[in-house]
Amino acid sequence: MKIESITLHNFRNYADESILMGDGINIFYGENAQGKTNILEAVYLFSSAKSHRGAKDKELIRFSSPEAQISMKFYSQQRSQEAKMYFYQNKNKQLFINEIEQKKIKALLGIFSTVIFSPEDLELIKDGPEARRRFLDTDISQLRPNYYKILKDYGRVLEMRNNLLKKEKIDKDLLEVYSMKLAKYGAKIMIHRQLFIDKMKQKAKEIYFFISDKKEELSISYRPSIDKTYELKEKEIVPKLYEALSSGEDILRRSTLKGPHRDEVIFLIDGKDAKSYCSQGQQRSIVLSLKLAEFVFMEEVLGESPVLLLDDILSELDAKRREKLISFIKDNQTIITCTDKDFYYHLDKPFIARKIQNGRVIGK
Ligand SMILES: Nc1ncnc2c1ncn2[C@@H]1O[C@H](COP(=O)(O)OP(=O)(O)OP(=O)(O)O)[C@@H](O)[C@H]1O
Ligand SMILES: [Mg+2]
């Protein structure tokens, strides 16, 4: 899949801009705060219906404008298509695909896919487990649109169960119904996460080894909140999770203590926990390795390359790691932002470079 063009209307600091995208590497460079990341944000919105920096819809609308519109012509499923998204101050956003309004705002899942690396992703290593679960969930949803629905169902039942547990008098029958449902949805989530990590970890390890100039080894492991589920089938996890939910502990603590909402993912560099010991450059290298591994994995599953979005990838990396990383960028459509023009002197592939200045694209 690839983007043919994107148009931004009253989106962030863009009044009205249309940008044609090249099939290969597209570089947007410029000083800080000019609008480089805003372009990536618009592209990412089409693939996941939310901002990669967690912005609210209202914040995407240009200051003092009533609404914003972004549209994108793209090639996917062997044909040119068009998607449009409208953002409003006081109502939900709308998505149109080929002029037809979509009931589901995530209707482009699986049709238009991206893999993004952005500085915000560095939280993946240092922040709490929630950031790592979010990473898994966002990526698996792009690969398996049904996963997103299971997550929502799980979240809904979890909320109801936690509300019930906070009541003075707990209806035990209802609690059991919720526990059974949670076990059913939870097992599905755990299986998807396990599979995803299994697929990713070898690839990410190879990429990290390469970026670190064969000096360091990355390992990733999935730590679900209930033990010994590794290599179990979904049918076998359901009773285990149900049992964990029925231990009585939840009633004492008035909260659901086990389940995928408590899962953890551990990153180790040379056997040491990355969260506690990694330098800035190592963190960045881990996240980049993960993203590039995810890209390869998505390519396999989708049978098409997703669009790769790389926001400010090189800062904090030393010359050797920079060089290794750049050599990893392929010919498929990639959108790169950077402040430093030096970046592309190292590229040995064709590219299109455009300057971004105050919400305008210079040299279209
Ligand atoms: N809703 C909005 N309306 C108008 N301007 C906005 C809005 N939201 C953000 N901006 C402005 O957009 C500008 C550019 O944002 P962006 O994050 O794209 O910068 P950038 O070029 O990636 O910079 P950096 O190199 O620092 O990452 C910021 O100056 C910000 O004030
Ligand atoms: Mg930026």
Query: Which pLDDT band holds residue 322 (cuts at 50, 70, 90)?
Result: confident
Instruction: Provide the whole-model pTM.
Output: 0.90
Query: Tokens 């299986």 identify what position?
Result: 191
Backbone angle region of 259, left / alpha / beta, with phi > 0 → left and psi within -120 to 50 → alpha: left
**116-125, 143-152, 247-256, 334-343: which range is least confident on average?**
334-343
Res 193 pLDDT > 70: yes
Res 192 pLDDT > 70: yes
Write down the number of H helices and E strands in the chain.
11, 15
Rounded distance between C-alpha atoms, residue 22 and residue 1, angstroms: 12
Rounded distance between C-alpha atoms, residue 264 and residue 77, angstroms: 35
Nearest CA to ligand 1 atom 29: 33
Ligand 2 centroid distance, CA of 13 (Å): 12
HEC per residue, 224-292: CCCCCCCCCCHHHHHHHHHHHHCCCHHHHHCCCCCCHHHCEEEEEECCEEHHHHCCHHHHHHHHHHHHH
Q: Which residues of 34-69 are buried (b: 16+ CB within 10 A; e: fewer)?
A: bbbbbbbbbbbbbbbbbbbeeeebeebbbeeeebbb
Ligand 2 centroid distance, CA of 310 (Å): 10
Q: What is the mean pLDDT of the chain?
A: 93
35 lines ligand 1 (CB under 6 A): yes
Ligand 1 centroid distance, CA of 12 (Å): 7
Q: What is the pLDDT of residues 43-61, one digit of tens each?
A: 999 999 999 999 999 999 9
Percentage of the residues of the chain whose pLDDT score is greater than 70: 99
Q: Starting from the CA of residue 11, give the closest ligand.
A: 1
10 lines ligand 1 (CB under 6 A): no
- Report pLDDT for 221: 93
What mean pLDDT do residues 141-147 have? 87
Q: Which atom of ligand 1 is nearest to the CA of 61?
A: 1
Q: For residue 286, which of 298, 302, 304, 274 has the smallest C-alpha distance? A: 274
Q: What is the pLDDT of residues 242-262, one digit of tens each?
A: 999 999 999 999 999 999 999
- Report pLDDT for 110: 82
Sheet containing 351-357, strands listed edge to edge, beginning at the edge strand earlier in sequence = 114-117, 307-311, 334-338, 25-29, 351-357, 360-362
Query: Which pLDDT band holds residue 364 (cuts at 50, 70, 90)?
Result: low
**Alpha carbon of 316 to those of 116, 119, 321, 328: distances in Å?**
18, 11, 10, 18
194 lines ligand 1 (CB under 6 A): no
What mean pLDDT do residues 257-276 have? 96
**Alpha carbon of 260 to those of 93, 250, 331: distances in Å?**
30, 15, 37
Q: What is the pLDDT of residues 202-255, one digit of tens each?
A: 999 999 999 999 999 999 999 999 887 777 889 999 999 999 999 999 999 999
What mean pLDDT do residues 145-168 have? 96
Ligand 2 centroid distance, CA of 358 (Å): 13
- Report pLDDT for 247: 93
